[in-house]
Amino acid sequence: MSVEVTWWGHATATVEDSGTRLLTDPLFVRRLAHLRRRRGAVPDSRATVADAVLISHLHADHLHLPSLARLAPGTRLIVPRGAPAALPGLRRTADAHDLPVTELGPGEKTEVGAVTVRAVTAAHDGRRLPYGPHRVPALGYVMRGAATTYFAGDTGLFDGMADEVGACDVALLPVGGWGPFLGHGHLDARRAAEAAARIAPRDAVPVHYGTYWPIGMDAVRPHEFHAPGQEFVRQSALLAPEVTVHQLEHGASVRLAAGR
C-alpha cells in the first residue's frame, strides 16, 4: 500500500490514500485580487476530482468560493467549525453546487471512505475580514488511512504541536507565502524544518510557496518567492536529517510507501 501526494501549487494538494482522494485548500485561478500566479499552470480538471476537500481557514487564498464551485456535485467540504455562519457565501456555494458540508473543531474526526480525518490546531489568525470577530479556528488536518498524513494549513510553531499531530508518515508543511514578508502565524523554511524536527515524519513535502506573488512586486525580495523550497531542503538536512524531503514541481506527484 502507498499514499500519493500531488502538489498543484500554493496550499493546494491532493492526497490519495486507500482509494480515497482528499484535496486541500483548492485555488484554481490565474489571479486573486492583487495576487498573480507566476509559476505553474492553473490546475486542470484532474485537481477537481476528490471525495472530500479540506479547508484549513477562511482566508480567500485557502477558502476560494469560485474554486469550490468547480468541484463535482457531491464532493464533501470539511471546514472549520463555524465557517458557514461566518461566511454566508460558503453556504450559498455549497447549496448551489450540492457540496455537503462537515464542520470540525480541533480534536474532532470524520470518516471519508477508508480515511479518518482529524482536525488539529493551527496557530494562525484565519478569520475572513471583514466578517466579524475571530470566532472560527484555523485548522490543520491529520489523514489516517494506510498512511498518516499531516496537512498543516497555515500555522506558526506552537507548544504541543508534535503531541497534537501525533506520529505521522508524511507532512505537508508551508514554507513561504505570497509576499515579501511573512506575518505572524506562518512558517518560513527554517521554522518549517523545525516543525519537521518536532513532528518527525518519514517524508515531508513543502507547500505554500513559489506560486502567487503581488502584481508589480516581482523585483521586491524575489528570493522570498523563489528560494523557500530549496531552503527548506537545506534546513531540514541540518535540523531534521531523518526526514526525507520531496520538493515537487507544480502538478507533480510522489508515491510514498505507507506505514513505518
* Tens place of pLDDT per residue across the chain (260 aa): 689 999 999 999 999 999 999 999 999 999 999 999 999 999 999 999 999 999 999 999 999 999 999 999 999 999 999 999 999 999 999 999 999 999 999 999 999 999 999 999 999 876 655 555 557 899 999 999 999 999 999 999 999 999 999 999 999 999 999 888 787 788 999 999 999 999 999 999 999 999 999 999 888 888 899 999 999 999 999 999 999 999 999 999 999 987 65
pTM of the model as a whole: 0.95
pLDDT at 10: 97
Distance CA 49, CA 20 (A): 11
Residue 124 is classified by DSSP as S
Distance CA 24, CA 71 (A): 12
Give the 3-state secondary structure percentages of the chain, helix then strand then coil, rounded to 5.
20, 30, 50
Distance CA 257, CA 128 (A): 37
pLDDT at 247: 98
pLDDT at 56: 98
Quote the cell numbers at residue 177: 507565502
pLDDT at 84: 94
pLDDT at 183: 74
CA-angle at 236, arms to 40 and 151, nearest 5°: 55
pLDDT at 66: 98
Quote the cell numbers at residue 69: 464551485
pLDDT at 134: 56
CB 75 within 8 Å of CB 51: yes
pLDDT at 127: 62
pLDDT at 130: 57
CB 188 within 8 Å of CB 152: no
